[in-house]
Chain A
Amino acid sequence: QVHLQQRGAGLLKPSETLSLTCTFYGGPFSGYYWSWIRQSPGKGLEWVGEINHRGESKHNPSLRSRVTTSIDTSKNQFSLRLTSVTAADTAVYFCARLSPVGIGGWYSDDYWGQGTLVSVSS
């Protein structure tokens, strides 16, 4: 069964580092863009960033230099790291294969992780 599974800490203190990992099961990993999206409680969706199997990444400028993404193609995993978190970073974080277009222009199906609620509180 093709799916994405997330793991990572859900409770952080201000100034700590958020760290999440997503693993893709049951399908090809290379050739696609792997994304992170977050959703603050009761709010809309915000794109955080994405990475491809070559390690080329793009991030939301609103997060400045706090965000990094990484990928491990040997494990079909990609990760998100967000430093110096504040209460404003409290959100459900999703990993996803968001773009309907793969690296070579082919169709890319829609897969999402289950979401991780990350709460930042002192």
Chain B
Amino acid sequence: DIQMTQFPSSLSASVGDRVTITCRASQDIRNDLVWYQQKPGKAPKRLIYAASSLQSGVSSRFSGSGSGTEFTLTISSLQPEDFTTYYCLQHNSYPRTFGQGTKLEIK
């Protein structure tokens, strides 16, 4: 199985800050990576696919980069609604695997 190591597991930041979340794959997954945002009690919402493509309807303050084994999600200027949990997912091979999640909290 491909292990997805996501860090940090939690992050404190302020409105307007720029933050970066990282996912590291245990083997090369090309760009088969998706980033999700999940709010409490809700289903996850896709933000980024193919490592760096912005999902339609998602704010451009979200961006993704990376390929191979190292990937990052950057939020350029945090808004109040961004303080929630984020996950990465690899869909390069089976079983699909998620990162452990990053909880973004207001400082």
Contact = CB atoms under 8 A, between A and B. Distances in A.
Nearest to A107: B49
Bin the interface of chain B by size.
Answer: 20 to 34
Interface residues of A, number: 23
Given A100-B49, A110-B55, A115 B98 contact: no
Q: Which of A35, A45, A60 has the most CB of B within 10 A?
A: A45
Given A44-B100, A100-B49, A115 B43 contact: yes
Interface in A68-122: 94, 96, 98-101, 109-110, 112-115
Main secondary structure of the interface of B (DSSP, over half): loop
A98 B43 contact: no
Contact of B91 (A60, A61, A99): A99
A110 B96 contact: no
Interface in B1-54: 1, 34, 36, 38, 42-46, 49-50
Interface of B: 1, 34, 36, 38, 42-46, 49-50, 55-56, 87, 89, 91, 94-101
